[in-house]
A and B are shown apart, each in its own frame.
Chain A
Amino acid sequence: LAKTTQPISMDSYEGQEVNITCSHNNIATNDYITWYQQFPSQGPRFIIQGYKTKVTNEVASLFIPADRKSSTLSLPRVSLSDTAVYYCLVVTGGGNKLTFGTGTQLKVEL
């Protein structure tokens, strides 16, 4: 199984950019990295995914360096409503091995 590591928590203020990094070893060239957001008493919700370089959508960007040993979720101009736990997911072994990170609790303050 791939091993994934994330910071336990991060603090930020409204309007700032937040970068959350997930370290992952043992992933193949085309294995995808996916990020999810989870609010209390809810299931995780998809944010963004990619397998190389940079991906951007309307809510976030995902940066994956060439060595693919880590990935960084970037949230531009966070607001109070972005306070949540963020998880990275790595899928390896041809889709049969799923490893979630332990999650990063992001707290956004005024």
Chain B
Amino acid sequence: NAGVTQTPKFRVLKTGQSMTLLCAQDMNHEYMYWYRQDPGMGLRLIHYSVGEGTTAKGEVPDGYNVSRLKKQNFLLGLESAAPSQTSVYFCASSYTTVRGNQPQHFGDGTRLSIL
């Protein structure tokens, strides 16, 4: 039981390049989330999904796209990377929650640097 797995763990990109971050969970969770973490700013929600085939914008969605084609996978895409997207990206998953009463399970992050 691996929980939430993120790939890759590290990546360096040049400005303008594109890439996809993969998140996989084996807990049969309905909800999945992508966050970015920057010094002094905590975790900010980029996009989330409440089920297979659905996605929604979070607090900072600009410059990112997501897809949830399979229940266990949630992909985060950067179409044209910018230095401002240098960050640590975390994926999380949880059971269905309306009041926030289902704890989120996090991966160990992807460290992305954009030069």
Contacts and interface: CB of A to CB of B under 8 A. Distances in A.
A108 interface: no
Contacts of B101: 32, 49, 51
Interface residues of B, number: 27
Contact of A43 (B56, B100, B106): B106
B103 interface: yes
Nearest to A103: B42
A49 B108 contact: no
Contacts of A42: 108-109
Interface stretch (A61-69, A70-78, A94-102): A94-102
15 contacts: A34-B104, A41-B109, A42-B109, A43-B90, A43-B92, A43-B107, A43-B109, A44-B43, A44-B90, A44-B104, A87-B42, A91-B99, A91-B100, A95-B98, A100-B43
Given A43-B106, A49-B101, 13 more contacts: A33-B100, A43-B4, A43-B108, A43-B109, A44-B43, A44-B104, A45-B106, A46-B105, A87-B42, A96-B56, A98-B48, A99-B59, A100-B42
Interface of B: 4, 33, 35, 40-45, 48, 56, 58-59, 90, 92, 97-101, 103-109
Interface of A: 1, 30-34, 36, 41-46, 49, 51, 87, 89-92, 94-96, 98-103
Contacts of B45: 98
B99 A31 contact: yes
Q: Considering the complex of A and B, which 7 residue pairs feature the smallest CB-CB distances, nearest first?
A: A91-B100, A43-B106, A46-B103, A32-B100, A102-B42, A95-B98, A100-B43
Contacts of A89: 100, 104
Nearest to B91: A43
Contacts of A46: 103-105
Contacts of A87: 42-43
Contacts of B44: 100
A34 B103 contact: yes
